[in-house]
Amino acid sequence: MGLRGDYSRAGADFRVEQDWGAYAPEEHALYRRLFERQSKLVPRYACPEWIEAIAGLDAAQEIPRFDLISKKLRTRTGWEIVPVPGLIPDEAFFTHLANRRFPVTVWLRKPEEFDYIVEPDVFHDFFGHVPLLFDRTYADHLHEYGKGGLKAMRLDAVKLLARLYWFTIEFGLMNTPQGVRAYGAGLLSSGGELAYCVEDARPRRLPFDLERVMCTEYQIDRYQETYFVIDSFEQLMRETAPDFTPIYARLRSSLVS
């Protein structure tokens, strides 16, 4: 796949050392600029749960130390973050989630990728994903997702389940009293798509529908054409609680893919 991280030092579960002291001052400065740019957008476009959580993280000045963040997280929702070299195989990823460990990439993008990056880096993983791990319902949902991922592997249905992750955890929208807001990490960490997903007239914004999500293909290298909107993390939790086994079977027999 041509991933850019250094996988040579990774353990069997793909864990590496964060080696915080090895970040260059320019990297902390770039992280700070990314953080500042997004911080101007989130009051208008992010869901309230995310906004509340980031305030307690003190993560604006430099690339955060994962061990300190994990300490806070463990006491709040029992999650911790695990440093990894980048994207990791499905089984390792699902296993981490199923044990309330969220893998976070250690490296930061290059300055020329300020506006857009396809591969997740520490800014996307941290800024986009980690704050919501402080929300109890979201945190519990992601734990269930991890267990569901291991099950989907046994049922040869990872492709269907991955679409759920994509249209919720990465690119999900939520109805709030202030209007539609983003909770997906790919949106929260994006300079352009965060406003686009909420305000632009072009994309479809459909009410969350599990089976429709599982039947919807996505592109990883451009703004989404379709978003799915939940009413709350409780709704997401509730609608993903049923056993997916019969759903997988049905969708697989009705889809040509």
Question: Any idea which residues carry the catalytic annotation?
Answer: 124, 129, 170, 189
156: number of Cβ within 10 Å: 10
Task: Check residue 185 for interaction with Fe ion (CB under 5 A).
Answer: yes
Task: Check residue 97 for interaction with Fe ion (CB under 5 A).
Answer: no
Structure-block tokens of residue 7: 């996988």
d(CA 81, CA 59): 14
Burial (Cβ within 10 Å: 0-12, 13-18, ≥19) of residue 219:
exposed
Nearest-CB residue for ligand PHE? 148
Residue 240 site contact among ligand PHE, Fe ion, none (CB < 5 to 8 Å, cut-off depends on kind): ligand PHE
CB < 8 Å & 24+ apart, contacts of 195-203: 195/41, 195/44, 195/45, 196/223, 197/45, 197/171, 197/173, 197/223, 197/224, 197/227, 198/44, 198/45, 198/173, 203/227
The minimum distance between CB 124 and Fe ion, in angstroms, equals: 6
Binding site for ligand PHE (CB under 6 A): 144-145, 148, 151, 164, 240-244
Nearest-CB residue for Fe ion? 185
Residue 69 site contact among ligand PHE, Fe ion, none (CB < 5 to 8 Å, cut-off depends on kind): none
Residue 185 site contact among Fe ion, ligand PHE, none (CB < 5 to 8 Å, cut-off depends on kind): Fe ion
104 or 161: CB nearest ligand PHE: 161
Residues within the interface to Fe ion (CB under 5 A): 120, 185
